Amino acid sequence: MTVFGFHASHEQIHPAELLAAVTHAERAGFDAAMSSDHFSPWSARQGHSGFAWSWLGAALQATNLPFGVVNAPGQRYHPAIIAQAIGTLAAMYPGRFWAALGTGEASNEHITGTGWPRKDVRAARLRECVDVIRALLAGEEVSHDGLVTVDRAKLWTRPEQPPALIGAAVSVETARWCAEWADGLITVNAPVEHLRRMIDAYRDAGGRGPLHLQVHVSWAPEQAEAEAVAYDQWRSNVFAPPVCWDLELADHFDVVSEQVPLERVTSVVNVSADLGRHVGWLEEYVALGFDQIALHHVGQEQRAFIDTFGAEVLPKLRTAA
């Protein structure tokens, strides 16, 4: 049966409020959670960007939910430090933590001042990071000289069972590449046919493990309100790669999204006041075979969404399954 989780969006919500939201989501019937990991929001209107790894320790302690995080090792984060962070959380909360690894975005990584590599270089760097993290979690002493450098690193606190390292992808090509190394696949909502091609590419290439999906939704009692929330908070997030990978500042995203029409927003966010439509959209994703679906209400106020989906959407999906 598909697990339905709550997505914790640090770019939009103060970490204290986000902690209250995820504990409320558990009480309302959500079965899991996942977290973003950014240095910067995509818009000044979003206005936050707490440090995910500090928050994850608090959230795992405050709930009984399994958690995942989407991370980009290699530039802002040294892979040995990410291995240590993963290992500590997995040791403290066995069986409750996974990490998705991707190539990142300039909006978070430019802060190092070292330049933003080409996509092929970022992919090669990520592949090196995956091997470093895996070896460290296995208890090996690691030295490595390549796109990342590691000198005699060893983790002294490790979990008994290394957690899953999930591949993050938004294209068919990247999904196929993730099959080489990942313990599962995560992506974001897109047209059903595109998602099917991604899943097929991953599985046909030998991809193993669970399939995760993050779904952007906007719900409010009135359609106009649901549209207004989505437009205010998410119109800076409608740009396909490479634009979304390569813009550096929230100001840049705000400038290029000034004239974005509502139709662009509703192409990437499931926007409706009709809960039946949300159930229908989610049923389509379930039918594709996703093992876990994390719901991200793109508004900054979460409580009404959590209460309503917990009471009226999730039970229908579980009954249908």
At residue 316, the pLDDT reads: 96
Catalytic residue among 38, 110, 278, 296: 38
Residue 84 pLDDT: 98
Q: Is the pLDDT of residue 306 over 90?
A: yes
Who wins on pLDDT, 32 or 319?
32
Return the closest-CA partner of residue 138 out of 167, 158, 153, 165: 158
What the block records as the tokens of 79 is 């892979």
Average pLDDT (22-50) is: 98
Residue type, 127: R
Whether the predicted pLDDT of 46 surpasses 90:
yes
Exposure b/e, 158-180, CB count within 10 A at least 16 = b: bbeebbbbbbbbbbbebbbbbbe
The model's confidence at residue 321, banded by pLDDT at 50, 70 and 90, is low
Report how many domains make up the chain. 1
Q: What is the pLDDT of residue 218?
A: 98
The pLDDT value given to residue 13:
98
Joined together, the tokens standing for residue 65 give 């939910």
Residue 22 has pLDDT above 90, yes or no: yes
As a whole number, mean pLDDT of residues 84-96 equals: 98
Domain, as residue range, for 241: 3-320
For residue 145, how many other CB atoms are within 10 A of its CB?
9
Mean pLDDT of 186-212: 98
**CA gyration radius, the chain:** 19
* Catalytic residue flag (residue 38): yes
CATH code, domain with 58: 3.20.20.30
Distance CA 226, CA 159 (A): 43
Q: Is 296 a catalytic residue?
A: no
Q: How far apart are the first and last CA of the chain?
A: 6
pLDDT band at 100 (very low <50, low <70, confident <90, very high): very high
Average of pLDDT values for 202-212? 98
Predicted pLDDT at 310: 98
Chain segment 118-137, per-residue pLDDT in tens? 999 999 999 999 999 999 99
Structure tokens at 19: 């902690």
Q: Is the pLDDT of residue 152 over 70?
A: yes
Q: How confident is the model at residue 319 (pLDDT cuts 50, 70, 90)?
A: confident
Query: What one-letter code names the amino acid at 303?
Result: R
Question: What ranges in the chain are assigned the alpha helix state H?
Answer: 15-28, 52-62, 79-92, 106-109, 119-137, 172-178, 192-204, 223-234, 243-246, 250-256, 262-266, 275-288, 303-308, 314-320
**Of the candidates 257, 111, 124, 141, which has an alpha carbon nearest to the alpha carbon of residue 181?**
124
Q: What is the pLDDT of residues 250-285, one digit of tens each?
A: 999 999 999 999 999 999 999 999 999 999 999 999
Catalytic entry in 7, 10, 11, 105: 105
When the pLDDT of each residue in the chain is averaged and rounded to a whole number, the result is 97
Question: How many percent of the chain have pLDDT more than 70?
Answer: 99
